[in-house]
Amino acid sequence: MRKMEVDVAVVAGGPAGLAAAITACENDRKTALFEKSNTTGGAANMGMGVLGIDTSIQRSNFNDIDFQTAFRKHMEYTHYRVNGPLVSAYFRKSADTVEWLQDMGVKFAGAYRYSKDSEATWHVVQPENGRIGPRAASGMIKVMTNHAIELGCEICYETPVYDLIVEDGKVCGVLAKDKNGEEIECRAKAVVVATGGFGSSAEMMKAELGLNLGVDQMTFMVPGVVGDGLRMMWKAGAQKYGMNMEVAGGTLSGEYSSTGLVFNQADLLVNRDGIRFMAESDAMNSTFFGNAIADQPGRIAYSIIDGSIAKRYQKSGYPHISIVHDISTHVNIMNDLKAAEEDKCPTIWHADTIEELAEMIGIDPDVLADTVDEYNDFCDQGYDELFAKDRQDLRPLTGKGGFYACECRPGAYGTIGGVKVNAKMQVFDKDCRPIPGLYSAGTDANTIYGDSYNFKLPGNSMGFAVNSGRLAGDGIEDYLESLE
Ligand SMILES: Cc1cc2nc3c(=O)[nH]c(=O)nc-3n(C[C@H](O)[C@H](O)[C@H](O)COP(=O)(O)OP(=O)(O)OC[C@H]3O[C@@H](n4cnc5c(N)ncnc54)[C@H](O)[C@@H]3O)c2cc1C
């Protein structure tokens, strides 16, 4: 058993763990970070950027949003079912955090909206290849990792932590195992746990949320994110709290992911009973889309278009695009659809008539035909009498080129929450008292959404991760000073 002794031990090197480690190092605390995989960054390597409120980047683009507006919007969105002081501490810190990241070398392409109705809070990292899109934030992770090392943080890769050391009710270190199988006992005055939730653990998803991963609930399946930190914290006496899915999307186009966008343009959505269930234009907010599907019988829905709609997109482009989707890879819509058809993609169907399509997907043909007729009437009159969906998204299904359906299931970035924390990121026990020496940050501690991710203030998850990591670092400094 290798023995180590530090001031601060950080469990995991996602954006939350890295931010906590850097903050501890800035405070001249001897810090070690243990990361399960052979690289830092976790889910953030797939993402694009962090939330910032009232930043100089926003102000320079006349896109600023002040603290009051953001805070009130968020608390209204969550019906005050979340920790106000924590949201306040996070939002208040977020502008400084954007500068803190810039000072260490992170470059931002700008502050963006996710959709028209969202605020421009999403500080998207300038990607190395210059092209804004998925994975841009991996550049931020590189800079943060190098900075942590420069400040003296010892990063132990491929060294998962498997338990916390608890003595006299205080957390005072971690137990880990390195890639050669050697056990490590790292004594620490404080520990930060930030292992990213359990979005890749079928067992925990079933046990904690009653969901069947990959069947009625999809996630991005970030490797290694299987609830290790939460299990350790619960074992150490932490209160189980606030677990949920960070719902987003989505259309299931499987290996034909290029066709996903075709079926995600606010055209007809029906449930397995053949009935419409939402204003399809609201499905452009992927949290709303996922939530609405999750509420349908069997947690399933179908997006239905016809060949003429697909052709129109092929010719004139998609009505709904965002900076997340690289549309240049979707130029050959008709070919992609044809390939999906011929290869018999299990989640995409094509038929000459709506009745045949209904048979294929197991919907009563008469009901689906009636739904399509009614929907087409709404399109003709330019007004959706059922849900008043946006008029510009009323495109009739004529059946020209046949009908297509794509299966939709609730998707999610992963889980959120698991422990209750205060605004210093101290982890609470069952009596809501902080467990001395135990801090959590990022997804494991992300209980600021209530039931749904807030796309109106985008960048909110990675923003919470980095800012809560810094808050944990600050909280630990107060704690360590109180011990001295
Ligand atoms: C496709 C995708 C795109 C996204 N885009 C955005 C975006 O643009 N903006 C935004 O705000 N949010 C985005 N998110 C969400 C964001 O990435 C997460 O909120 C954020 O990464 C959470 O940070 P974290 O540090 O808490 O956990 P993670 O980033 O999930 O990192 C967890 C880390 O813990 C490690 N680990 C697990 N168990 C152990 C253990 N036992 N010991 C040691 N290490 C362990 C893992 O290997 C991993 O490195 C996106 C997510 C996905 C999946």
- Ligand 1: does its nearest atom lie under 6 Å from the Cβ of 324? no
Whose C-alpha lies nearest to ligand 1, atom 34?
195
Note the pLDDT of residue 360.
Answer: 96
Query: Which residues fall within 8 angstroms of residue 165, CB to CB, at 6 or more apart?
Result: 171, 172, 173, 174, 175, 185, 187
Half-sphere exposure of residue 91: CA atoms within 13 angstroms, side-chain side: 23
| CB within 8 Å of 210: residues ≥ 6 apart | none
Structure-token pair, residue 268: 């007809």
Question: How many of the other CB atoms lie within 10 Å of CB of 85?
Answer: 10
Q: How far is the CA of 247 from the centre of ligand 1 (A)?
A: 15
CB-CB neighbours of 107 under 10 Å: 13
Residue 370 CA to ligand 1 center (angstroms) comes to 44
Closest C-alpha among 190, 218, 197, 160 to residue 37: 160
Asked if residue 408 lies in contact with residue 302, where contact means CB atoms within 8 angstroms, the answer is yes
Give the per-residue pLDDT at 117.
82
Q: How far apart are CA 147 and CA 101, in angstroms?
A: 10
Does the CB atom of residue 54 touch ligand 1 within 6 A? no
* Cα–Cα distance for residue pair 352/377, rounded to 1 Å: 21
Spatial separation of the C-alpha atoms in residues 455 and 468, rounded to whole Å:
19
Verify whether ligand 1 is closer than 6 Å to residue 454 (CB atom): no
Q: Determine whether the shortest distance from the Cβ of 125 to ligand 1 is under 6 A.
A: no
Q: What is the pLDDT of residue 327?
A: 61
| Domains, the chain | 2-246+415-483 (3.50.50.60), 257-408 (3.90.700.10)
pLDDT values of the chain reduced to their tens digit, one per residue, 484 residues = 999 999 999 999 999 999 999 999 999 999 999 999 999 999 999 999 999 999 999 999 877 899 999 999 999 999 999 999 999 999 999 999 999 999 999 999 999 998 888 999 999 999 888 888 889 999 999 999 999 999 999 999 999 999 999 999 999 999 999 999 999 999 999 999 999 999 999 999 999 999 999 998 999 889 999 999 999 999 999 999 999 999 987 777 766 777 888 999 999 999 999 999 999 999 999 899 999 999 999 999 999 999 999 999 988 888 888 777 666 555 688 888 998 888 888 899 999 999 999 999 999 999 999 999 999 999 999 999 999 999 999 999 999 999 999 999 999 999 999 999 999 999 999 999 999 999 999 999 999 999 999 999 999 999 999 999 999 999 999 999 999 9
For the Cβ of 14 lying below 6 angstroms from any atom of ligand 1, the answer is yes
Nearest-atom number in ligand 1 for the CA of 124 is 8
154-156 and 2-11: which strand pairing? Answer: unpaired
CB atoms within 10 A of CB 329: 12
**Ligand 1 centroid distance, CA of 41 (Å):** 7
Q: Take atom 4 of ligand 1 and give the residue whose Cα is closest.
A: 47
Residue type at 456?
K
Asked whether 230 lines ligand 1 (CB < 6 A), one says no
43 lines ligand 1 (CB under 6 A): yes
Ligand 1 pocket: which of 39, 46, 246, 440 to mutate (most atoms within 8 A of CB)? 46
Nearest atom, ligand 1, residue 122 CA:
9
Ligand 1 touching residue 222 (CB < 6 A): yes
Cβ atoms of 157 and 35 closer than 8 Å: yes
All residues at 6 or more sequence positions from 97 whose CB lies less than 8 Å from its CB, including other chains: 19, 50, 52, 463, 466, 467, 470
Q: Does residue 246 have its Cβ closer than 6 Å to ligand 1?
A: no
Q: Is the CB of 138 under 6 A from ligand 1?
A: no
Task: Determine the residue type at 347.
Answer: T
Atom 3 (ligand 1) nearest CA: 47
Residue whose CB lies within 8 A of the most ligand 1 atoms, among 245, 461, 470, for a mutation test: 461
**Residue 460 Cα to ligand 1 middle (Å):** 13
Atom of ligand 1 nearest to the CA of 37: 47
What was the pLDDT predicted at 348?
Answer: 93
What is the residue with the minimal CA distance to atom 14 of ligand 1? Answer: 47
C-beta 94 within 6 A of ligand 1: no
Residue of the CA atom closest to atom 1 of ligand 1: 46
Å from CA of 328 to ligand 1 middle:
27
CA of 225 to the centre of ligand 1 (A): 8
| pTM of the full structure | 0.96
User: Terminus-to-terminus CA distance in the chain, angstroms?
Assistant: 29
